[in-house]
Structure 1
Amino acid sequence: MRSLVTLQRVDQAVSTLCLSHRFSADIARVFRWVSKSGDGHLYLAIGALLALTAGDKGVSFLVCGLQAFAIELPVYRVLKRLFRRARPQHLPAFIIPSDLYSMPSGHTSAAFLMAALLSHFYPDYNAVYWTWAASIGASRVLLGVHYVSDVLVGALLGLGCASLVLRFSEYVYFAG
């Protein structure tokens, strides 16, 4: 229990550091767009575009993405209800979150899931994928709607779901 109190204190201190300076509003303008890119619409568009233009590899990417999100979304919702962790309070928030709870960060989870899938299927742009995913996670803290630990748990959730589907898909789609 003591470690949870320490985690809460560290999270609060980091959030306070990130949000209690005169540049917060300027930073928020940039990170609103970054965060918006992780709302989910872009993921479906990427999957559909690749399925239509990249042959079997694109279709496999889309199928793996749909399967990974079919796992990630329910697990994310269960964890939100299980943790019921309040979002950062007594600090500025630069967007209105879609729900009350912060643990885990769904935007971060989805971004890391996509980065892992894109890295697996299209590794030439790994630096772009991972930078983008990390930026989405950072944006959630800098916008005042998540703690750092929410983002870390979200990243692990996304990576875990992508890894599970990729491991399974090797046996189903790529065997032979």
Structure 2
Amino acid sequence: MSVLQQRFIAFDVSLYYWCFGARHWPLASTVSRSLSKLGDGSLYLIIGLLLAWLEPVHGINFLLTGLLAFAIELPVYLFLKQTIKRDRPCDRFNDITPQIIPADKFSLPSGHSAAAFVFATLIGFYYPDLMLLAYAVAGLIGLSRVFLGVHYPTDIIAGSVLGVGAGLLGLVLNSFLI
């Protein structure tokens, strides 16, 4: 491992410990759990279905593009997790007790971040007035995963890049299907 890689990992771990330490701030753990649950996935489908049903201008396209984007994001996410196999910080360090039980064993990339950023990218495209709010919520969902002790900051960054990429690819592919 190169010196640059070692420094990067040390920085990532230091940033992780700073964020994880923030769980002691008043309400940080409660808010982080709520944000993490918000990113579990079912809300994205519910919002997509509601928009398809109630919003005549972009609702159907939003839902279809979302299904396509998530069909791209999910297998890539699973492939990366199973290929990289990065231990979660709560499994690597003895002094970390996670605030939640993660759904799987590995941490890179963050699936919550990937999904949140797919959704934010589509919201930003179809409903530009909500773009900043959507990306802010996506960022908070990702950050909550660090606060809860189950992801490193770079897991969140990787998930965010994956999510934006899958969202954009879904938009491009959907434009060819229309």
If the length of structure 2 is used for normalisation, what is the TM-score? 0.92
Tell me, yes or no, if structure 1 residue 61 matches structure 2 residue 62. yes
Q: Give the superposition deviation at 1:105.
A: 0.1
Could you tell me whether the CA contact under 8 Å between 1:24 and 1:142 is conserved in 2? no
Distance 1:123 1:16 in 2: 35
Which 5+ residue runs of structure 2 have no aligned equivalent?
Answer: none
Look up the match of 2:75.
Answer: 74
Q: Percent identity?
A: 42
Look up the match of 1:86.
Answer: 87
Q: Please, what is the CA RMSD of the aligned residues?
A: 1.5
Look up the match of 1:137.
Answer: 142
Question: Out of 130, 133, 158, which is 1:128 matched to?
Answer: 133
Tell me, yes or no, if structure 1 residue 155 matches structure 2 residue 160. yes
Distance 2:48 2:14 in 1: 38
Distance 1:6 1:109 in 2: 25
Look up the match of 2:118.
Answer: 113
Q: Which amino acid aligns with 1:37?
A: L
Distance 1:151 1:138 in 2: 7
Distance 1:25 1:148 in 2: 21
Aligned pair count? 173
Look up the match of 2:104.
Answer: 99
After superposition, the Cα gap between the structure-2 partners of 1:117 and 1:22, relative to the gap in structure 1 and judged at 3 Å, is closer
Distance 2:126 2:19 in 1: 35
If the length of structure 1 is used for normalisation, what is the TM-score? 0.92
After superposition, the Cα gap between the structure-2 partners of 1:153 and 1:4, relative to the gap in structure 1 and judged at 3 Å, is same
Q: Give the superposition deviation at 1:28.
A: 1.1
Which 5+ residue runs of structure 1 have no aligned equivalent?
Answer: none
Distance 1:63 1:73 in 2: 15
Equivalent residue of 1:20, what SS? helix
After superposition, the Cα gap between the structure-2 partners of 1:22 and 1:122, relative to the gap in structure 1 and judged at 3 Å, is closer
Runs of 4 or more above 6 Å deviation: none
